[in-house]
A and B are shown apart, each in its own frame.
Chain A
Amino acid sequence: MIPAAFDYHKATSVAEAVGLLKEHGMDAKILAGGHSLIPAMKLRLNQPELLIDISGIADLKGIKDEGRKLVIGAACTHGAIASSAEVNKDAPILAITAKTIGDIQIRNKGTIGGSIAHADPAADWPAALIAADATIEVLGGGGSRTIAATDFFTGIYDTALEEDEVIIAIHVPKVSSTFTSAYAKFFQPASRFAIVGCAVVMEMKDNYCVSARVAFTGVSDMAFFDEKVSSALAGKSLNDETIAAAAAQAAQGVDTLGDHFASEEYREHLAKVYAERAIREAIA
């Protein structure tokens, strides 16, 4: 488990990191928590010549309340997000999801920016960010832009990020107490990533679902917003029947993954089961 030789640079500012990325192009990689990149390098699946470490850049680590939204620095760890009072109050789906990622060591090192940049199809964050209707702020040679979470994930380990772009922050709309959230995850027994992860954020008036955002990870090449389930919930009084009817629509029309642990058929089934579990948990 020895990576190929590489140079290491500890960046002190975002501008410096972006500059280095631009200068070295394909040969450089951002290093955040290292919990996806380093294993890949040790297996020599990835052999960058330069690592630009962003974990020391203070600007990337805060969680800021900007009134209608929370702005979470890309280098915030899963653990910091899970235990943040602001996140637990104003964007609880993120805190709930963070707690299911890996174990304590992983959560103390791995970052939200690293996870979404890596875009593992079985990672947990993507479902939560889509359900939360988050946007991703990036900075690159071409300047700064924001990308909706729904548009960010484009394939297995593939995102809308340009080669010289760095993720700066995740902008998450704050939700009021009329909202309810849940993340239901069927763990892959070895890696404990998600075989199916379903994130649900709903605005409720008693039993009545005003609006719903349901998103899946693990089911296919990339996390996705489940339009059908979401609209089947919105405008309905939630009861056994309406919940089951909504869940039955889960993951329709997507190309389902199949692997050693879960065939396509089983994943499709699990998507329905976990949609139902997430919805029920959200209103429990």
Chain B
Amino acid sequence: MTKMIGKSVKRVEDKRFITGKGQYTDDIILPNMTYAQFVRSPYAHAKVLGVDTSEALAHPGVVAVYTGADFAEINGVPCGWQVDFKNGDTMKEPKHPLIVVDKARHAGDAVAIVIAESREAARDAADLVDVDYEELEAVVDPKKAAEEGAPLVHDDVPNNICFDWELGNPKEEVDAAIAAASHVTTLEFANQRVAPNAIEPRSYIGDYDSTNDKYTLYTSTQNPHLIRLLMCAFVLGIPEHKVRIVSKDVGGGFGSKIFHYTEEALVTYISKQLGRPVKWTAERSEAFLTDAHGRDHVSKAEMGFDAEGKITGLRIKTYASMGGYLSTFAPAVPTYLHGTLLQGVYTTPKIHIDVVATFTHTSAVDAYRGAGRPEATYLLERLMDTAALEMEMDPAELRFKNFIPAFNGIDEPGYATNVALQYDSGNYAPVLERALEMTGYKDFRKEQAEARANGKLLGIGFSTYIEACGIAPSAVVGALGARAGLFEVSQVRVHPTGKVSVFTGAHSHGQGHETTFAQVVADKFGIPMEDVDIVHGDSDTVAFGMGTYGSRSLAVGGSALVKSIEKIIDKGTKIAAHKLEAAEEDLEFAEGKWTVKGTDKSIGFADISLTAYVPHDYPAGLEPGLDFSSFYDPANFTYPFGAHIAIVEVDKDTGKVSLKRFIAVDDVGNVINPMIVDGQIHGGVVQGIGQALLEHAFYDEDGQLVTGSYMDYAMPRADDVPMIETDRTTTPCPHNPLGVKGAGEAGAIGSTPAVVNAVMDALAPYGIKNLSMPLTSESVWRAMKG
């Protein structure tokens, strides 16, 4: 049997996606189903003085209209991560109501919900709901929100401050290190807000079955069991065993479908009220206004260096927007997923970060591909290239000088950072060496000099990132404020004929688990991949799970899978020993059969499977069946890393940036399916390029989302991006059985600063050092104009 692990097997799930046979939530049509349409606030901040639903109720086909008052007794959706103020006070956690009662806190905040026999009737009737608003002043900038006198998002949250937080070495030590530095590089910039743009808009169906008193929620979520837990225990107060969550095919998430949204609870609750299924699918404009956005930081970053260019200290102050309400993991993003990454791949001896999280009159901000790590990497990598420029050093050299030396995490415990983490294994120089080699760096600098002499603006930018995946050891995240464990669950069921069904708590919404996980199972059991089915996204069939985000599926879910596989093989060995009349120690399992060592006596996987279910001739005392579950709680995060290099040309006359080349050398540990990993890197890199050059969820001062459609929200297109040149090094993760680290977010984390650095390098002849993203043609042109 050929090895499956390490092979670029074509994705088995793609057949149904490519032929349009995927089962997305909006594809599901239930008998007697009703349709929901929201009435949403056109204002960012407005008192709701009255809602008149009479005309809407009278509209043909309307079944019901609800307003905030109808849910006033119901809890809001909860926040799953608690961060305390520096002084120990708990973060401010104002209610996130299912429908607003008193006032709207962002454009798109729901004011009423119309339920009708058809989508059309619901949509028409929504226009007939008459809401009396009193518009109030809004604040949209996370830093300005904390200023004295800023309009308040929640009346009981002074200065809009949700929490303040710090991490790292004592502040005085860092201040002293920076004061004593021979060079200090300082940058102030925003990491702009971006919209997640999953191709499938959020879609939910609530379906209450009164005969069994059972609810089914079909939802486009990344983590079905977590939604069930949050919705049952914290919002609706319904028993968990009475709720089934189904999320079969989901069309992308990028983080935005991790969170428990108000609309999920509403369709579930209303379906019981009406005794009919209720479906809601977001319109694209609604998605722009109500999906949790990403980033939205305003930071000041200072890095001190000694005369040789060794980093001596790093000091960061960040204002992070939470948006109008706290989304599920929002507080974790600018703190434990951001501050903890500021060691980067460098030996920086003193680090301190100070974060102020504020409410603003905008859509909630939460995890978006990379979640905090891209923001941290952006700070570090922009500082590095800027420092190199200021100190007249080569940016690659500056990095080599500061890299943490290689460690494999086996011979030593790993690398303890100044910001609370212990890196598992790392070897940072080779990725940059390889990327430089692929770039032809020396030749490039010559080419650049010639181009400059000819009046062309060519630039190169670097980024050597590290990130933390495989979230996470439950005890560690618990200590850091997570209100959930972050283990993963697997069940491997071997059927009597030796065919295998795997039930995983990980959730695929584009990542290709049905292929990658099947490759692992096929290899471990020595059976064909076609004999393995991967099942996810149904809480009635999958025992439990924490879902997919933070590049955790293979590192945590795959590890849980291997545990169950090992249990099967152990039990199979007992059965085989009985059948072969040999001692267990004398057997070896390989290539799908148990063999008595040194003989040709063997028994195959399918025979053992059958025996387990037809246990006529069977080991005494052994239970029949071949079906095991496992929970796996990781020992540590995993730490992929890599080097990204961008080459750009800037049009002198217009400021337009063209990306000429992009080189990505990533180390994601062992690789199961290289094609899928490349795909993840490509997608991530393009998302990162999008943030650098194009994307911006831009709110004007009144809190209107100016870029609320694809006419104005610029997504990267194929012709904005060159062929991405990728390669890998492999530094296995020492603490999980597959040695894998995770590849889902690396591309988005490494690429953004590389592109911006390249533009700054191109603009160096103008003395331009710092521009805010996205680097639009006009902003570059203005900077050149001076």
User: Chain A: residues with CB nearer than 8 A to chain B?
Assistant: 1-2, 4-5, 43-44, 186, 189-191, 260-263, 266, 269-270, 273
Interface size bracket, B side: 20 to 34
Stretch at the interface among B117-125, B479-487, B572-580, B672-680: B117-125
Stretch at the interface among B19-27, B47-55, B79-87, B703-711: B703-711
A191 to B284, CA, bound (A): 15
Stretch at the interface among B215-223, B369-377, B712-720: B712-720
Any A CB within 8 A of the CB of B163: no
With beta carbons under 8 angstroms apart, the residue of B119, B694, B778 that contacts A263 is: B778
Any A CB within 8 A of the CB of B283: yes
- B714 and A189 form a contact (CB under 8 A): yes
> Assuming A190-B711, A190-B714, is B781 touching A2 (CB within 8 A)?
no
Interface string of B116-158 (1 = CB under 8 A from A): 0001100110010000000000000000000000000000000
> Assuming A261-B778, A262-B778, A263-B778, is B123 touching A2 (CB within 8 A)?
yes
With beta carbons under 8 angstroms apart, the residue of B284, B285, B707, B710 that contacts A260 is: B707
Any A CB within 8 A of the CB of B600: no
B284 to chain A, nearest CB (A): 7
**B-side contacts of A186, CB under 8 Å:** 654, 656, 777
A44 to chain B, nearest CB (A): 8
Interface string of B708-737 (1 = CB under 8 A from A): 001111110000000000000000000000
> Assuming A5-B124, A262-B778, is B285 touching A191 (CB within 8 A)?
no
With beta carbons under 8 angstroms apart, the residue of A260, A263, A269 that contacts B712 is: A260
**A-side contacts of B713, CB under 8 Å:** 190
A186 to B778, CA, bound (A): 12
Any A CB within 8 A of the CB of B772: no
With beta carbons under 8 angstroms apart, the residue of A5, A190, A262 that contacts B120 is: A5
A186 to chain B, nearest CB (A): 7
B786 to chain A, nearest CB (A): 14
A190 to B288, CA, bound (A): 14
B588 to chain A, nearest CB (A): 58
A270 to B714, CA, bound (A): 20
**B-side contacts of A261, CB under 8 Å:** 712, 776, 778
- A266 and B711 form a contact (CB under 8 A): no
- A191 and B712 form a contact (CB under 8 A): yes
- B698 and A273 form a contact (CB under 8 A): no
Nearest to A103 among chain B residues (CB) is B717
Any A CB within 8 A of the CB of B397: no
Q: Number of residue pairs across A and B with beta carbons under 8 Å?
A: 47
- A190 and B124 form a contact (CB under 8 A): no
A43 to B123, CA, bound (A): 11
| Chain A to chain B: the 7 pairs with minimum beta-carbon distance, closest first | A190-B714, A189-B714, A2-B123, A191-B711, A273-B653, A266-B778, A1-B283
A27 to B653, CA, bound (A): 47
- For A186, A190, A269, A270, which residue has the most chain B Cβ atoms within 10 angstroms? A190
**A-side contacts of B777, CB under 8 Å:** 186, 189, 262, 266
- A1 and B284 form a contact (CB under 8 A): yes
Interface string of B86-130 (1 = CB under 8 A from A): 000000000000000000000000000000000110011001000
User: Chain B: residues with CB nearer than 8 A to chain A?
Assistant: 119-120, 123-124, 127, 283-285, 653-654, 656, 694, 698, 706-707, 710-715, 776-778, 781-782
A49 to chain B, nearest CB (A): 14
Nearest to B717 among chain A residues (CB) is A192
- The majority secondary structure among interface residues of chain B is loop
- B654 and A190 form a contact (CB under 8 A): no
- A260 and B698 form a contact (CB under 8 A): yes
**A-side contacts of B124, CB under 8 Å:** 4-5
With beta carbons under 8 angstroms apart, the residue of A1, A4, A270 that contacts B654 is: A270
**B-side contacts of A43, CB under 8 Å:** 285
- A2 and B120 form a contact (CB under 8 A): yes
A192 to chain B, nearest CB (A): 8
**B-side contacts of A44, CB under 8 Å:** 127
A162 to B707, CA, bound (A): 34
Nearest to B715 among chain A residues (CB) is A190
- B712 and A190 form a contact (CB under 8 A): yes
Nearest to B118 among chain A residues (CB) is A2
Nearest to A266 among chain B residues (CB) is B778
- A190 and B119 form a contact (CB under 8 A): no
A4 to B698, CA, bound (A): 29
With beta carbons under 8 angstroms apart, the residue of B127, B283, B707, B781 that contacts A266 is: B781
**B-side contacts of A1, CB under 8 Å:** 283-285
A104 to chain B, nearest CB (A): 13
Nearest to B716 among chain A residues (CB) is A189
B62 to chain A, nearest CB (A): 15
**B-side contacts of A4, CB under 8 Å:** 124
Show 25 A/B contacts (Cβ-Cβ < 8 Å), sorted by A.
A1-B283, A1-B284, A1-B285, A2-B119, A4-B124, A43-B285, A189-B694, A189-B714, A189-B776, A190-B694, A190-B710, A190-B711, A190-B713, A190-B714, A190-B715, A191-B710, A191-B711, A191-B712, A261-B712, A262-B778, A263-B778, A266-B777, A266-B778, A266-B781, A270-B654
Nearest to A274 among chain B residues (CB) is B654
A270 to B651, CA, bound (A): 12
Nearest to B656 among chain A residues (CB) is A186
Nearest to B774 among chain A residues (CB) is A189
Nearest to A193 among chain B residues (CB) is B711
Known: A2-B123, A191-B710, A262-B777. 4 other contacts (CB 8 A): A1-B285, A190-B713, A191-B711, A266-B777
B166 to chain A, nearest CB (A): 36
- A260 and B706 form a contact (CB under 8 A): yes
A4 to B125, CA, bound (A): 11
A1 to B782, CA, bound (A): 38
A247 to B715, CA, bound (A): 32
A1 to B713, CA, bound (A): 17
B34 to chain A, nearest CB (A): 15
A110 to chain B, nearest CB (A): 15
With beta carbons under 8 angstroms apart, the residue of A190, A262, A269 that contacts B707 is: A190
A2 to B706, CA, bound (A): 22
A174 to B119, CA, bound (A): 51
Nearest to A270 among chain B residues (CB) is B654
A5 to B714, CA, bound (A): 31
A129 to B285, CA, bound (A): 34
A269 to B785, CA, bound (A): 11
- For A2, A4, A262, A269, which residue has the most chain B Cβ atoms within 10 angstroms? A2
A125 to chain B, nearest CB (A): 18
A243 to chain B, nearest CB (A): 14
**B-side contacts of A189, CB under 8 Å:** 694, 714, 776-777
**B-side contacts of A269, CB under 8 Å:** 781
Nearest to A43 among chain B residues (CB) is B285
**A-side contacts of B710, CB under 8 Å:** 190-191
A189 to B707, CA, bound (A): 12
**A-side contacts of B698, CB under 8 Å:** 260
A2 to B125, CA, bound (A): 12
A209 to chain B, nearest CB (A): 22
Nearest to A122 among chain B residues (CB) is B711
A269 to B652, CA, bound (A): 12
Nearest to B711 among chain A residues (CB) is A191
A44 to B710, CA, bound (A): 17
A261 to B698, CA, bound (A): 11
- A273 and B284 form a contact (CB under 8 A): no
A260 to B698, CA, bound (A): 9
Nearest to B700 among chain A residues (CB) is A260
A44 to B126, CA, bound (A): 12
**B-side contacts of A5, CB under 8 Å:** 120, 124
A43 to B711, CA, bound (A): 13
A186 to B710, CA, bound (A): 18
A262 to B656, CA, bound (A): 12
Nearest to B652 among chain A residues (CB) is A273
A41 to B132, CA, bound (A): 26
- For B654, B698, B707, which residue has the most chain A Cβ atoms within 10 angstroms? B654
A121 to B711, CA, bound (A): 14
A62 to B713, CA, bound (A): 37
Nearest to A272 among chain B residues (CB) is B653
**A-side contacts of B654, CB under 8 Å:** 186, 270, 273
Nearest to B696 among chain A residues (CB) is A260
